[in-house]
Amino acid sequence: MTRAYELDRAHVFHSWSAQAEITPMEVVSADGSTIWDADGRSYLDFSSQLVFTNLGHQHPRIVEAIQRQAATLCTVAPAHVNDARSEAARLIAERMPEGLDKVFFTNGGADANEHAVRMARLTTGRHKVLTTYRSYHGGTQTAINLTGDPRRYANDLGTEGVARFFGPFLYRSEFHATTEAEECERALAHLRRTIEMEGPSTIAAILLETVPGTAGVMPPPPGYLAGVRELCDAHGIKLILDEVMAGFGRTGAWLALDHYDVRPDLVTFAKGVNSGYVPMGGVAISHEIAAHFDHRAYPGGLTYSGHPLAAAAAVATITAMAEDGVVEHAARLGSDVFGPALAEVAERHPVVGEVRGLGVFWAVELVADRQSREPLPVEATGKVAAACRALGLLPFATANRIHLVPPCTTSDAEVREGLDILDRALKTGDELLG
């Protein structure tokens, strides 16, 4: 046991954990798509940690940018102009839909969603926000209440002005749909009725993950987001798209919304914007909402908004992604490697109910019975994840799913190696079915 591990267990309070029941991995080094633990074992990182190392570990251009910025200006109050933040804002705005060219910087995704909701409430004069049950929007007080994921239960008192509805998810359709077109039509009808019954004049915003991530990597069917936009326009409701996990190359596009030809009023981002090297998030704001605060103060801010080190990392990340064709590489990995290989894996293993995803954003849904689609118990899914780790693959495991979300820079050979390990580990799941 290392001193670092002893000190961790003595003093570090871990998130989302029963403190006495965890044995966290000690990561001592990392490079590209590989990490090493304190025992010298290597793992292909198909979690991107918490789905944020979009350019992999220790990318030399990001590390150099942080070092260079640290030597010039380590930190400054957000009221002052600094060139790193200005350039980061320009690069981010360039990748947003037309008209979203103002950027408010935060420290991460949860507070980005908090501020986007605040902006929507202030500009509409309404309070209620609609979100989906299968969603995750962060762990701060407002954000956890905006979340639909069961992790909200311990903190959700029903007092934050949030109402929920079911989004589209054909594999587990709430609408008895049998095709993507039916799922889209019926999900939009359900949302329309929810808006009507909640009272359109009370609703400030609809907040959606463009592609829900932690809840299961569920790309929406064609036409759904456009239909949500139409409903928002009909009732004066702001549309907020949460791109915290799905943005900046993860889906094989700069933003996941690029797949769907939709213009929201606000876009939240974090994670991949600078590969998580220094904490950063933010809100891209439409002209209409930004203009509301032209002559009235926006009542919010953060001490480290647009921190120079984080901004420098964002500039280096976005520049490297553009110059090295990272987004195109991620798209090709999805269409040419992940998609075909996972389809074959699903055929071989009875424990696999469905695989779905795009780019380097994939989920393998594990089931106890393919016919009934009964989810594999969490404990059994944990055994599959443990088998992956024993063979040298670090996946992102949650509920009854194994998520495969490596860096966007992962090579074809590394993806195939990781999927081969998954193929072997899934035999553990098959055996659990008896």
**Dihedral sign for Cα atoms in the order 316, 317, 322, 324:** positive
Closest CA to 257 of 358, 370, 349, 130: 358
Residue 179 CB burial class (10 angstroms; 0-12, 13-18, ≥19): exposed
pLDDT digits (tens, 9 = 90+) for 68-83: 999 999 999 999 999 9
pLDDT digits (tens, 9 = 90+) for 251-308: 999 999 999 999 999 999 999 999 999 999 999 999 999 999 999 999 999 999 999 9
Q: In angstroms, how far is the first alpha carbon of the chain from the final one?
A: 37
- Bridge pairing between strands 128-132 and 162-165: parallel
354 — phi, psi (to 5°)? -160, 150
Q: Identify the pLDDT of residue 421.
A: 98
Task: Show contacts of 191-198: CB within 8 Å, 24+ apart.
Answer: 191/130, 191/165, 191/227, 191/228, 191/231, 192/231, 194/130, 194/163, 194/165, 195/130, 195/231, 195/235, 195/237, 198/128, 198/130, 198/163
Mean pLDDT along residues 218-222 = 98
CA distance 257 to 248: 11
**Alpha-carbon dihedral angle through residues 40, 46, 49, 53, given to the nearest 10 degrees:** 110
Q: In the structure, what pLDDT confidence band is assigned to residue 154 with cuts at 50, 70 and 90? A: confident
Mean pLDDT along residues 109-127 = 98
Contact 332, 303 (CB under 8 A): no
pLDDT digits (tens, 9 = 90+) for 355-402: 999 999 999 999 999 999 999 999 999 999 999 999 999 999 999 999
pLDDT at residue 158 greater than cutoff 90: no
pLDDT at residue 434 greater than cutoff 80: no
Q: Identify the pLDDT of residue 160.
A: 86
Contact 219, 357 (CB under 8 A): yes
CA distance 60 to 328: 20
> Going from the N-terminus, what domains does the chain have, and what CATH number goes with each?
3-58+325-432 (3.90.1150.10), 60-323 (3.40.640.10)
- Of 178 and 159, the structure prediction assigns the larger pLDDT to 178
Q: What is the mean pLDDT of the chain?
A: 96
Closest CA to 135 of 238, 50, 52, 244: 244
